[in-house]
Amino acid sequence: MLVTLIRTIFLYIIVLIVMRFMGKREIGQLQPFELAISIMIADLASIPMSDTGIPIWNGITPILGLLVMHLLISIMNMKSMRIREILCGKPTILIYRGKIDEKALIKERFTLNELQERLRGNNIVNIGDVEYAILETSGQITVIQKPNKRNTTPEDFNIMPDYEGIPYDLVVDGRIMTENLKQIGKDENWLKKQVEKFNIKPQEALIVTYDGKGQIFCQEKNKKGKGA
């Protein structure tokens, strides 16, 4: 029992490391060759995990082999457009200039109901609002609405919004994010003064953020027994 537990933990760590090396794609964004390798890795890990009679290296070795194969294929995928087309395919236009391409739907084995479902997933209720719908190689659908149906932007009114940048977490659950402070050119003494304006110390904050406009958001952690 203990041996099985140890083998499971060890294999889990190995698979986690391998998947980390494979990148940060979500399952729905995996290319076909990436999905195939992910499924094979899971299958290979499950065999020595459940059968203690099989040497654990019999599972680890092919998993590492698949990782190497994935890295090599990824490099070729980036270097050669022809290989990329063979491995990943090409995007398919399902709706072109507002008209559904029936041949494309048949080729990709897509029904109208599936197309409508995917459009609703892109917040498109009326198929007549779509100018282009492109089936990407990952299986996701990119939608471009007709000009008169698109959301307006400040640029449409010749308005130039102020630069906002990205917010930085300065304190998370009472822990000071030193690297983020360096990114904005501040130090802990500055942080302490800012947080004291909220009548707390940095260690007492649940979260403190700093945005591109210099605005600070601060929320205090719930104290034990508070409100009891």
DSSP 33-62: HHHHHHHHHHHHHHHHHH-TTS-THHHHHH
For the chain, give every domain's residue range.
2-86, 92-149, 168-220
Identify the CATH number of the domain defined by range 168-220.
3.30.240.20
Summarised one tens digit per residue, pLDDT across range 65-96 is: 888 888 888 888 788 878 877 777 789 999 99
CA gap 72, 22 in Å, rounded: 11
SS3 199: coil
Output the pLDDT for position 225. 46
92-149: what CATH class? alpha beta
Enter the pTM of the model: 0.60
